[in-house]
Amino acid sequence: MYSLQIVHAAPHIASWSPISRFFARFPDPGVNVYPWLIAFLVFIIVECVAYLISQIFMLVITYTAGKGMFKDIMTKVSNTTFHYYDVVPIGRLMNRMTSDVATIDGNISNQFLIVAWQAIAWVTSIAVIAGATPLFLAFSFIITLAFIFIFLRFLPTSQSLRRLEMTSLSPLMSNFGALLNGLTTVRAFCAQSQFQDRVVAVTDAFQAMDHFYWYVDWSTR
């Protein structure tokens, strides 16, 4: 009877994956739970170490990119001609410098991590589902083509709206800088209301472009 059970169970055991065979050696959790806890602890440690390595790697990349960009910006701005400052408003220059450096220092590292984790999750999900249902590969191929088509339409729109958002922010920063530099003159001629009206107008223009950009960005998530 026992030998017959082994013969019938052998083909089933042979079809197991290496991971299933590894866990098959563990005792029943109801009898001895310690090997399962140790295996779970090992998985957690490996995940924490991998996450720490990824964070350090992204920190080094972000620091190197931010330092290089800031050095290039300061070199070009310091060595430019005086005519450049006569043509380009200070608010536009400050806007471009602060927004570009802030993008490198803050948001871009998180975006890289999100893209990396999403890519890993997508590949592993496709591999697992395709292993159980190979017919799903055809359906996933159609979904991938649809995503690429939508992304190619979304990217130019997002770039244009982002450019309009940053362009509309420059007058706001220019007006605020002019108000700080000429505050005494503004108070002397009682021109506070004119500057307030202009700040409200440029703020409305910026918020309109900002809402358009974030609406398109969040609607694709």
Give pLDDT, residue 49.
Answer: 93
- Sole residue written with tokens 């190979």: 134
CA–CA distance, 98 with 179 (Å, rounded to integer): 20
Q: How many domains does the structure of the chain reveal?
A: 2
Judge whether 128 lies within some domain. no
Q: Is residue 51 part of a domain?
A: yes
Per the domain annotation, does 123 fall within a domain? no
Question: CA-to-CA distance for 178 and 90, rounded, in angstroms?
Answer: 9
Same domain, 1 and 100: yes
Same domain, 20 and 77: yes
Question: What local confidence, expressed as pLDDT, does residue 44 receive?
Answer: 92
Q: Is the pLDDT of residue 12 over 70?
A: no
Q: Quick one: 95 and 12 in the same domain?
A: yes
Examine residue 131 and state whether it is found in any structural domain, yes or no. Answer: no
Residues contacting residue 168 through CB under 8 Å, at least 6 positions apart: 202, 205, 206, 208, 209, 210
Give residue 84's identity as a one-letter amino acid code. Answer: Y
Q: Is residue 130 part of a domain?
A: no
Q: What is the pLDDT of residues 30-41, one digit of tens each?
A: 777 788 888 888
Last residue of a domain, one of 64, 89, 104: 104
85 lies in the same domain as 145: no
What pLDDT, on a 0 to 100 scale, did the predictor assign at position 9?
44
Q: Which residue has the higher pLDDT, 191 or 106?
A: 191
**pTM of the shown model:** 0.53
Higher pLDDT pick, 79 / 91:
79
Q: Are residues 1 and 89 in the same domain?
A: yes
- Do residue 10 and residue 91 come from a single domain? yes
- Reported as a pLDDT band with limits 50, 70 and 90, residue 19 is low
Question: Could you tell me the residue range of the domain that residue 67 belongs to?
Answer: 1-104
Mean pLDDT of 51-62: 84
- Summarised one tens digit per residue, pLDDT across range 140-179 is 888 889 988 888 888 888 888 888 887 787 777 777 777 7
Q: Are residues 54 and 147 both part of a single domain?
A: no
Q: What share of the chain is helix, strand, coil (3-state, %, to 5)?
A: 90, 0, 10
121 in a domain, yes or no? no
Q: Of 64, 82, 104, which residue constitutes the final position of a domain?
A: 104
- Side chain identity, residue 169: L
Domain boundary among 104, 122, 145: 104
Q: What is the pLDDT of residues 207-217, one digit of tens each?
A: 888 887 777 76
The answer to whether residue 16 scores a pLDDT higher than 60 is no
If you write DSSP's letter for every residue of 81-115 in order, what string do you get? -HHHHHHS-HHHHHHHHHHHHHIIIIIHHHHHHHH
User: Residue 110 falls within a domain, yes or no?
Assistant: no
Query: Is residue 45 pLDDT above 90, yes or no?
Result: yes
